[in-house]
Structures are given as C-alpha cells and as structure tokens.
C-alpha cells in the first residue's frame, strides 16, 4: 500500500513538473516570436533611415532587405517539422 502511495505521489509530481516545463517552453516561444517581430521592425526602420540619409549601400543590401521582411511562422514550423522527421 505504501509503495502504491509513493508511486502515485511521484507520478503526480512528474506530471506537474512536465506541465511547468511545457508552460515555460510556450512562454519562451511567445517571447522569441515577439522579439523576431520587433527586430524585423527595427531593421526595416534602419533601412528607411539609411535611404533618407543617402546610404545607398545599406539601402540596397540584399541581406538587410531579407532581414527586414516579415518571417512566416507557418514556414518556420514546417521547416522544423521536416528537420525533425529527417533525423534518425
């Protein structure tokens, strides 16, 4: 009887810890998505400032232009899913 009670308590604790870990991961994902959105906005604003000031090298940079585009979350999720399915 004692062993059953002990196992039940351990399983409940593990379940609670797993739930907290899931909540932390979800919060981290939300923070990263918000950060991505903000960084994209800052890069876009810097590109516009460079254009106004006359820094054509920065304005016409393909790399900066790519960084200033919005990131498709669905595409990122699909890429991650494909990477996970390809791993042994």
pLDDT above 80 (res 34)? yes
Distances from the Cα of 75 to the Cα of 9, 19, 46, 80, 83, angstroms: 42, 27, 25, 9, 12
Q: Which two tokens stand for residue 30?
A: 């939300």
pLDDT reported for residue 83: 82
**What's the whole-number mean pLDDT along residues 6-20?**
91
pLDDT above 70 (res 88)? no
Above pLDDT 70, what percent of the chain? 97
56: Cα within 13 Å, side-chain hemisphere: 0
Distances from the Cα of 67 to the Cα of 13, 21, 35, 62, 70, angstroms: 43, 31, 13, 9, 8
pTM reported for the whole predicted model: 0.64
Above pLDDT 90, what percent of the chain? 22
């Amino acid at each position: 009887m004692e062993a059953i009670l002990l196992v039940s308590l351990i399983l409940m604790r593990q379940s609670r810890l797993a739930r907290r870990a899931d909540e932390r991961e979800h919060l981290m994902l939300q923070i990263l998505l918000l950060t991505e959105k903000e960084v994209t906005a800052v890069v876009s604003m810097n590109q516009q400032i460079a254009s106004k000031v006359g820094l054509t090298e920065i304005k016409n940079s393909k790399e900066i232009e790519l960084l200033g585009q919005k990131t498709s979350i669905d595409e990122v999720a699909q890429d991650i899913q494909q990477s996970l399915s390809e791993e042994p």
